[in-house]
Structure 1
């Protein structure tokens, strides 16, 4: 039975078909928000909360936003928000009428915002071109980051996720992959928060102990993966594409996924994100996470997040090992 499962792992999944009519320059990537996600009540509620927040913040300026896609692309509203929330004055024209002037203004505003946010959010989630092109997903990522920084008590809907289709132009044509993208975090209770703080303190106050934690977790992982003939040598890099994480979860939880559900040899960031998002969903379904996880933090190689995920698996399954298993490991 095991040999049959390993044989199945050699079969590759197929990519979702890219939409017809998409034309991208080689190396260019584009994210398309899927229609069902637009209709998600939590996604709609998030937009409503952000619109109300903007309008209540700027009501003395007589600025009224009705549609986030249509009303924020030229930098005018973002400029006023920055002035109001951060007391920042920028040398830009009040109203930019041409596309070039609007792009120039938006660039200046975003640069100032990035300085204010102090890299609290990954700027790769948005940029000038995406905001200017009325990319709703990028606009929401930016506004959520601003709300978390300037008004952390704002009640945003929790755990808002959307399905996106990422299209990438390569020399061999268009490639695409579907994945789930996290916009807002899950809410943590006090017990979950304390577990997260353990790793925060470890990295902040005892960085010399990080390698020891890595080694302990890596030893546990390799013991569980040896049935597949796999081993982990570098925790920072070997989990970023999601493959090892999916296989590890399967080994620990006692199941194998159909290969049509993930990419065994991901060849693009979209495929990596799809794999990691699937792994995070499996962890949530198995009640294996002690805190919210953003899949993009794993694909970007955030060591702290990767260790937290692996420690969740380690703490559950290490505690559940039989005395025989523990004895065998101690003697190895």
Structure 2
């Protein structure tokens, strides 16, 4: 049995309503785990991911505990990431309306996440609406893994939880460790390595790096040939954003009006504007690269350039051998 003082702390921190959870088991994150830097990093990474994904919708999330419970953000993420259309009100004001919206959103999300039995899920309508942080994090991590597998979440994040069972005879509890992210925080080039695929690639021998760069370069030039353009220096030719914008347009099948960017940029600010537009367009089509900033490309950062091109390579590679 846990100490009474510890339970009172959790009750205050996470607003545990014992009557609400009568007859159920409830998992509560231990106070020490709530303050663990790795857990804080994971929460921040998820907040950044949501804000990057919903940037065009002018939606800003500040707290996973306070901003996810009513279904609004989850609905927008579902529409943005899975192009799902649900007949639900954009804003649900009453608790009943919020629960109904959450039920529809989570039902669709569970389908997209491949969950066959929702009873085995680590989240549900009641937990999310009650601002359960553990359930919310589990759900968001699952969404990242499904919709943005290239996103590099903090790896090997675990928390100590108290499983509380409330009944008419009293409260039973068990303390356990629960895993939020595994050792492999991102897909590798072979889907079996660890860490960011490009950062891992650059640790290899030079000839292996060059082999991958040549494959990506071939992919780029294949798609740029119809425009009469050829890339010979991957490290430099993407720094002003022009070829990147044209490549995105070719791959995604849309035309970017010349009035939207500078075709022959000269100044640093013109290059920065071009690259910023390119990253915004990538975000719009579901390619989120939170670790890449516009300035990285303008300054000819090799790692940043490769991350973007590799993401496009993975997204559109069809016939050639995958990396």
TM-score (ref. length: structure 2) = 0.52
> C-alpha displacement at 1:34, in angstroms?
1.0
SS at match of 1:141: helix
In 2: Cα distance, 1:66 partner to 1:119 partner = 28
> C-alpha displacement at 1:17, in angstroms?
3.9
Deviations 1:96-133 (A, max 9, x none): 11111011001100000001001299752100011001
Over 3 Å counting, the alpha-carbon distance change for 1:136 and 1:43 in structure 2 is same
Higher relative contact order, structure no. (Cα contacts within 8 Å, ≥ 6 residues apart): 1
TM-score (ref. length: structure 1) = 0.50
Deviations 1:126-170 (A, max 9, x none): 000110011111000000000000000110111100011111024
In 1: Cα distance, 2:23 partner to 2:93 partner = 31
In 2: Cα distance, 1:26 partner to 1:80 partner = 32
- For the pair 1:150 / 2:136, whether they are aligned, the reply is no
- What is the aligned partner in structure 2 of residue 68 from structure 1? 64
Conserved? CA contact 1:121–1:145, under 8 Å: no
Stretches of structure 1 that go unaligned for 5 or more consecutive residues are 1-14, 195-332
In 1: Cα distance, 2:145 partner to 2:3 partner = 36
2:48 to 46, 52, 64: 52
- For the pair 1:161 / 2:158, whether they are aligned, the reply is yes
In 2: Cα distance, 1:98 partner to 1:27 partner = 25
In 1: Cα distance, 2:191 partner to 2:87 partner = 45
- What is the aligned partner in structure 1 of residue 183 from structure 2? 186
In 2: Cα distance, 1:87 partner to 1:162 partner = 33
Deviations 1:44-89 (A, max 9, x none): 0001111111111101111010101101100000000000000000
SS at match of 1:177: strand
Over 3 Å counting, the alpha-carbon distance change for 1:192 and 1:179 in structure 2 is farther
1:7-46 pair list within 5 angstroms: 15-17=1-3, 19=7, 23-24=18-19, 26-46=22-42
> C-alpha displacement at 1:171, in angstroms?
4.9
- For the pair 1:97 / 2:93, whether they are aligned, the reply is yes
In 1: Cα distance, 2:117 partner to 2:34 partner = 23
In 2: Cα distance, 1:89 partner to 1:191 partner = 34
RMSD: 2.6
SS at match of 1:42: helix
2:127 to 110, 114, 130: 130
Stretches of structure 2 that go unaligned for 5 or more consecutive residues are 194-323
Over 3 Å counting, the alpha-carbon distance change for 1:151 and 1:121 in structure 2 is farther
In 1: Cα distance, 2:116 partner to 2:192 partner = 18
1:287-302 pair list within 5 angstroms: none
> C-alpha displacement at 1:16, in angstroms?
2.2
Number of equivalent positions: 180
In 1: Cα distance, 2:89 partner to 2:145 partner = 28
SS at match of 1:78: helix
SS at match of 2:121: helix
2:170 to 173, 179, 189: 173
> C-alpha displacement at 1:32, in angstroms?
1.3
